[in-house]
C-alpha cells in the first residue's frame, strides 16, 4: 500500500482525517511551461507535447482511481494522540520508538497507519484552472460572514487559508498562499500543470506486522 504525506504546517493531515480535505495535488514543475496536455495513453499516463514540435513526455499519476492510500503520520503522533491499536501492536514503544518513523512520517510503515483515503477521481489541468469548488476540496475553509454586523456586503462568505488567519473573498485567492508556501514562491504565476486526486477518507484497524 502506498502512503501520502500532507502538510502539517497548514493542518492538512488533520483536515484529511476529519473529512474536510478531499483533494490533493501534484504540481508538475519539472515539465516546464511550454507544454500542452494532449490526453492520456493506454497506460493511463498523461501525455504532454513539448513546445511546437511533436516530442511528447508521459507522466504517470502516483495513484489510480479506486486505489487505497495510507495517510502518513509519525508513530509518536499516533501514540501521543492515543490513536494506536494496543491489541494488535502492544509493543509500540519497544518496537518503533528507535526507528526514524517515530518522529518522521516519511519513514513509517503504511500498513500501520490508522487512516486511509480511497481515490475517487484523477485529472490533470493548469494550476490556474482550478475552480473554487476544488479549492475548497483542497482544504480552503468556507465561512459565513456576520450579517448582523455587516450590511450591504458583496459576498456572503469569506474563505480562510488553513493553518493561518488569512481570509479572502474567493476560494482561489485563499488557496494561493498554500501553493506558494508548499511549492515555492512564484508557482501560481508559472501556472504549471497539476495532477489532482479526489478522494474520500476511510479508517481501518491496524494490521499486525510479524
**pLDDT at residue 33, as a whole number:** 74
Range of the domain at 41: 3-133+191-203
- Residue 173 lies inside a defined structural domain of this protein: no
- Residue 157 lies inside a defined structural domain of this protein: no
Report the number of distinct structural domains present in the chain: 1
Cα dihedral 90→6→171→193 (10° resolution): -150
- Residue 99 lies inside a defined structural domain of this protein: yes
Contact between 70 and 119 (Cβ < 8 Å): no
- Residue 181 lies inside a defined structural domain of this protein: no
> Under 8 Å CB-to-CB from 155, ≥6 apart: which residues?
145, 169
- Residue 166 lies inside a defined structural domain of this protein: no
CA distance 167 to 121: 29
- Residue 65 lies inside a defined structural domain of this protein: yes
- Residue 143 lies inside a defined structural domain of this protein: no
- Residue 178 lies inside a defined structural domain of this protein: no
**pLDDT at residue 208, as a whole number:** 37
Sequential pLDDT tens for the chain (210 residues): 999 999 999 999 999 999 999 999 999 998 877 889 999 999 999 999 987 777 889 999 999 999 999 999 999 998 888 877 666 666 767 788 889 999 999 999 998 898 999 999 999 999 999 999 999 999 999 888 664 455 455 567 889 999 998 999 899 999 999 999 999 999 999 999 999 999 998 865 444 333
Give how far Cα 174 sits from Cα of 25, 65, 78, 88, 121, Å.
Answer: 16, 28, 30, 42, 23
Give how far Cα 126 sits from Cα of 64, 98, 123, 192, Å.
Answer: 19, 43, 10, 6
What is the reported pTM?
0.88
% helix / strand / coil in the chain, to the nearest 5?
A: 25, 30, 45
CA distance 92 to 111: 14
Residue of 5, 162, 1, 25 whose CA lies nearest to 74: 5
Amino acid at each position: 500500500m502506498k502512503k501520502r504525506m500532507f502538510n502539517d504546517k497548514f493542518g492538512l493531515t488533520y483536515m484529511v482525517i476529519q473529512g474536510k480535505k478531499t483533494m490533493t495535488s501534484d504540481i508538475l514543475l519539472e515539465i516546464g511551461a511550454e507544454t500542452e496536455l494532449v490526453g492520456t495513453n493506454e497506460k493511463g499516463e498523461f501525455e504532454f507535447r513539448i513546445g511546437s514540435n511533436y516530442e511528447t513526455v508521459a507522466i504517470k499519476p502516483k495513484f489510480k482511481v479506486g486505489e487505497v492510500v495510507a495517510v502518513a503520520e509519525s508513530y509518536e503522533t499516533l501514540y501521543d494522540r492515543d490513536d494506536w491499536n494496543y491489541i494488535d501492536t502492544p509493543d509500540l514503544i519497544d518496537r518503533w520508538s528507535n526507528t526514524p518513523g517515530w518522529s518522521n512520517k516519511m519513514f513509517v510503515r503504511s500498513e500501520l497507519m490508522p487512516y486511509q483515503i480511497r481515490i475517487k477521481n484523477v485529472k490533470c489541468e493548469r494550476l490556474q484552472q482550478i475552480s473554487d469548488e476544488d479549492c475548497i476540496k483542497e482544504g480552503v475553509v468556507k465561512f459565513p460572514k456576520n450579517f448582523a454586523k455587516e450590511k450591504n456586503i458583496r459576498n456572503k462568505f469569506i474563505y480562510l487559508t488553513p493553518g493561518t488567519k488569512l481570509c479572502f473573498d474567493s476560494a482561489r485567492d485563499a488557496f494561493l498562499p498554500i501553493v506558494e508556501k508548499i511549492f515555492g514562491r512564484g508557482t501560481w504565476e508559472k501556472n504549471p500543470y497539476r495532477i489532482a486526486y479526489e478522494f474520500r477518507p476511510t479508517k481501518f484497524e491496524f494490521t499486525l506486522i510479524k
